[in-house]
Amino acid sequence: MKKLMLLAVGISLFAVPSHAQSVDASLSYSYFRLGGSNGTNQNGVSGSLAFNHLWLGIVGDFGVYHATPSGVALNTYTFLFGPRLTLRNPTHINPFVQGLVGGSRLSAAYGGTSAASNQFAFAFGGGVDIGMAPHIALRPQVDYVGLRNSGQTINSTRISLGIVLHL
């Protein structure tokens, strides 16, 4: 009987928080400024998957960006993970901030020759989910993205606009 009561208490502890858990999936168009004022403008897509519990979430964020400056095909890939803090409120306008770490891959190709390198990457930023329908939101977002390799950091900016599906 004692084991049965402990099992019931354990199940109830897990059942109560499950009402506040959710999953968000987003897909966005992204403008990516690789480098500072003398950098390269890239366009692409980014997506994220977040597992949320109340105001704290764990995020996986992935992006692919492309540009062709002076005939050179330049691609940037990012894969980042970390926490997201969201202010949830009844107005269906939910701002968030996030800090992510992970990696990136830069590749360049010109005239049949190509090169690529991998970097440590980190990002800080935020945005807002603006409710459009019961489970759909519009998400504008801005992030600083740092790409670090060989003791140097490439400072980059990502501006995104996309759709979020709240599951």
For residue 91, is it within any domain? yes
Q: Is residue 10 part of a domain?
A: no
Is 104 inside any structural domain?
yes
pLDDT tens track for 103-139: 999 999 999 999 999 999 999 999 999 999 989 999 9
127-136 as b/e: b if 16+ CB within 10 A: bebeeeeeee
Mean pLDDT throughout 37-64?
95
Let me know if residue 4 belongs to a domain.
no
Q: Quote the number of domains for the chain.
A: 1
Residues of the chain with pLDDT > 70: what percent? 88
CATH of residue 106: 2.40.160.20
Contacts of 50 (CB under 8 A, 6+ apart): 23, 24, 25, 57, 58, 59, 60, 84
**What's the pLDDT tens digit per position in 8-25?**
445 444 444 444 589 999
Q: Is residue 11 part of a domain?
A: no
The answer to whether residue 15 sits within a structural domain is no
Q: How many other C-beta atoms can be found within 10 angstroms of the C-beta atom of residue 72?
A: 14
**Domain interval for residue 70:** 21-166
